[in-house]
Amino acid sequence: MKSIYKYIFSLPLGLMLFGMQSCSDDKTEDESGPRPVILKAEVFTAGNDAGATWSSGQSLGVYMLKNGSNEIIGDNANIKFLADNRGTTGYLVPANNIPIYYPTDGSKVDFRVYYPYNENIATRSLGINQTEVVIKNNTKADALLYSDNCQGATGDNKPTIQIKSMLSVVKLDMRCQIEDAATVTAAIRNAATRATFDIIEGKFTERIVEDAPVLFTATKKVDNGEDVYTLQATLLSGIIEEEDAVIDIIVKDNAGKVIKAYKPASLRKVLALSEEQPAEENTQYDIDVQLNAASNNITTQVAAKSQIVILKWNGNDDNAIGGVARPERK
């Protein structure tokens, strides 16, 4: 039996229609009285090719705002919703069977939705609706997912949210031309790894640089007799304000002895970003890296830039089950 999952895919930017339109909807039957909010998301998976992390019963936070504003309606802030665990119905339903309701006057509303749910978010009375994300080793792009596309909804429909990662992914494809090389390690240093995210505004606010580096997760293969290493790490999206943010690369032999330590490479330069150009949310940067013994500097080139897509499950679509779609390379 096929596993009914979907994974985060990387697809060329030109194929994306993500989050650029208002939420779609399914009409509901005409009913009198207050109408509960039911969000349609079908069965989403936010994960990678190692396994699913989005499944029935996972929790999200939902905010309901007045249409076209940042004003929360009543107490409808950080309401916990669950992926429907009764099968593949595709709905997000209120936790504990405590619904929130559309305005009885029929006025339109907007939604903000984030994942994973954080019960410790400050109340609206403090003027703060922020959650925190911390980048560590092995952090995936689904560490913070967000949707603000659903605008102008009414009690006459079941809005469909389009949720995306608010992080960036850096993937290094390294060709190593160093004799006796057995392992290659890489780390991001001096870059912000902790931040608060404003759910209403949909952006990071405070960003903090911590002492611990972010280590890349590495795999190795042999291509035409040459060692090729693929290393991946997650990064906060936004302006890289830290001028000393770098990527360190070290080559070791079978005994674990360092045989080559390269000069730290500017993170901005590796990603081909200017001081005012942000690392883009929901985006994977594929970087080709050349390592050789004759130079202390690494040679890098942005080979591809692609968006991270959470696909809606379709039982008849084999391409939406497992795997990672490779972007076209330049």
Average pLDDT over residues 45-58: 46
Look at residue 318 and tell me whether its pLDDT is greater than 60: no
Q: Where are the domains of the chain?
A: 8-167+308-320, 168-306
pLDDT at 270: 96
| Domains 8-167+308-320 and 168-306 equal at CATH topology level | yes
**Spatial separation of the C-alpha atoms in residues 176 and 21, rounded to whole Å:** 44
Share of the chain above pLDDT 70, in %: 74
Contacts of 209 (CB under 8 A, 6+ apart): 190, 191, 192, 193, 242
Neighbours of 71 (CB within 10 A): 11
Reported as a single tens digit per residue, the pLDDT across 217-228 is 889 888 887 888
| 274-305 pLDDT tens trace | 889 999 999 999 999 999 889 999 999 999 99
Compute the distance between CA of residue 112 and CA of residue 70 in angstroms, rounded to an integer. 10
Q: What is the pLDDT of residue 226?
A: 81
Token pair of 101 as six digits: 């309701």
- Distance between CA 114 and CA 144 in Å, rounded? 7
d(CA 122, CA 45): 28
CB of 99 closer than 8 Å to CB of 155 = no
C-alpha count within 13 angstroms, C-beta hemisphere, residue 313? 25
Answer for the pair 35, 123: CB distance below 8 angstroms, yes or no. no
Tokens describing residue 26: 């399914």
113-140: average pLDDT: 79
Q: Do 185 and 216 form a contact (C-beta atoms < 8 A)?
A: yes
State which H helix or E strand residue 270 sits in. Answer: helix 267-270
Helix, strand, coil % over all residues of the chain, rounded to 5: 5, 45, 50
For the beta carbon of residue 301, count every other beta carbon within 10 angstroms: 13
| CA separation, residue 253 to residues 248, 258, 273, 275, 293 (Å) | 17, 7, 33, 37, 13
Residue 308: pLDDT band with limits 50, 70, 90 = confident
> What 8-state DSSP symbol labels residue 36?
B
Work out the percent of the chain whose per-residue pLDDT is above 90: 46
Q: Domain 168-306: which CATH class? A: mainly beta
Least Cα distance to 118 among 77, 66, 154, 155 occurs for: 77
Q: Which CATH architecture has domain 8-167+308-320?
A: Sandwich (2.60)
